[in-house]
Structure 1
């Protein structure tokens, strides 16, 4: 009897352990680059959606489908929030759970925000975290049951700017390599940009995102550098674009300029522009037929060539 109880207890511990795999993974094992010690504290608020600001410890949150459902594809998700906050569930964890239902592994990026007092050079921090995150996922591909050549990035609004920055600046040296993770490529294998900020140019950009990322007095060189429609090359990954014509926050011209540059550089691209939907619609459940974008994305990614 005692042996039976002990055996059952051991089995319970084993099952619990299998379900308690690390889901929050710190990106930086030692010192976070481009960061200084301050009295700033990370802030998490929940008022309809979870908003995170003043990020101090960048992480990825891991969401994996059942092994038998897994396609081998994966997406690094960059939530939006104007580079001032992260809409962490609205454009992050909720999206990850949906991707899992399609057999796609998902990793929600909690990236540093450029106006944090702890960040030294504002515009570098989000991209540093995105590069490290993509490399971390690729380094652990076997552990996560994904293919190294099928790891993309998905971004919403300002997160779409970060995603497109990763897709056009992945070869830049943004920090000093420190371990084997940093030997991995940071190039995403695809980009999904959902109502994205793309350009930093006046008249097209989202001023809030621009001011947070680059500052109000950014010079022309920095503005051009982070206007990602100007940074597309033939090595930019295949891209999926979604936008609404009536977007009053991030003009639809952002996606249109990106699409034009991608086509010019012979990059495989698909774009869908809806007449209505506004901005920040996430799944678009209450925004009419804009909610069909998720089906369009699934069709697109299922037909991507490896």
Structure 2
């Protein structure tokens, strides 16, 4: 079900699983091609070639609502989206804590429909946060308690928003595009942070920037280089034995946040590898969600 009227502040009612198009009047930085979105439903829902980016709405009951909200960026190496594994399952967990959640289906840079491929994911996540903030009263959300959460490459996108939320639009803006896109807090789970060797995840870098990006472009999307004192409070989880996205990604971002005196909490687990979502059945690692719930509850 697509809801368009809410984008311009018209009051409406919402239910679990409503889907909102980010760009009802035409997707910027996109050209018409014969591509279509693909979905593979095996043990997880895997989505590629996103043509119409959307937000899927998950709301707690009004009585349980804390006023906080989270926009979730699933991972997938900028090739696809692990949409339920690192998206809707996480949204349902957040709802159980009284937090409104919005799963972002963002454009992926390998799509031939995108004109400037590295710009599209950030354009989509900026727009997503603006939509949630613009409509916060409709969703029982406090407009300065809206966070961004990302897994793996989705963590790169979340940390890009956290450090480049004021990036200029390269398209004709409408009223929502003037709403602040700064997240009030950031949650990064085994995130890609840097585009610089030797610590980058090469798959994510190649998909976003190409196989041999100019150093200037790699630096521009190495988010540890762009933290400042206005970066949001941040919560980070990673595993030492992550062989896909080295733990150094999180360490680099933590060090940059610490230097700027940004409130930060980081949990490094000895085991877990990569891509564990809620880590159900993985022993001590499964408690990372408890640590996040505590952090969110005590966040000022």
Cα distance in structure 2, aligned partners of 1:177 and 1:289: 49
> For 1:241-260, what per-residue CA distance to the aligned partner results, in whole angstroms no more than 9, with x for missing partners?
00000000000000000000
Q: Which runs of 5+ in 2 are unaligned?
A: 1-11
* Partner of residue 12, structure 1: none
Cα distance in structure 1, aligned partners of 2:136 and 2:169: 23
Cα distance in structure 1, aligned partners of 2:68 and 2:15: 23
**Structure 2 vs 1, CA of residues 218 and 20 (structure 1 numbering), >3 Å: closer, same or farther?**
same
What are the residue-to-residue correspondences of 1:171-182 with 2, within 5 Å?
Answer: 171-182=166-177
What are the residue-to-residue correspondences of 1:247-286 with 2, within 5 Å?
Answer: 247-286=242-281
- The match for 2:154 among 150, 159, 167 is 159
Please say if 1:170 is aligned against 2:165: yes
* Partner of residue 105, structure 2: 110
Q: Are the equivalent residues in 2 in contact too, given 1:244–1:278 (CA < 8 A)?
A: yes
- Identify the range of structure 1 (278-287 vs 240-249) with the bigger mean alpha-carbon deviation: 278-287
**Structure 2 vs 1, CA of residues 178 and 68 (structure 1 numbering), >3 Å: closer, same or farther?**
same
Please say if 1:236 is aligned against 2:218: no
Report how many aligned residue pairs link the two structures.
Answer: 289
Q: Are the equivalent residues in 1 in contact too, given 2:13–2:138 (CA < 8 A)?
A: no
**Structure 2 vs 1, CA of residues 22 and 106 (structure 1 numbering), >3 Å: closer, same or farther?**
closer
SS at match of 2:205: helix
Please say if 1:146 is aligned against 2:146: no
Greater helix content: 1
SS at match of 2:121: helix
* Partner of residue 297, structure 1: 292
Q: Which runs of 5+ in 1 are unaligned?
A: 1-16
- The match for 1:137 among 132, 139, 151 is 132
Cα distance in structure 2, aligned partners of 1:214 and 1:290: 32
- The match for 2:198 among 196, 203, 212 is 203
Query: Which consecutive segments of 4 or more residues in structure 1 shift more than 4 A?
Result: 17-22
Larger radius of gyration: 1
- The match for 2:89 among 90, 94, 100 is 94
> For 1:159-194, what per-residue CA distance to the aligned partner results, in whole angstroms no more than 9, with x for missing partners?
000000000000111333532211210000000000
Q: What TM-score comes out, normalization by structure 2 length? A: 0.94
- The match for 1:185 among 170, 180, 183 is 180
CA shift at 1:21, angstroms?
7.5
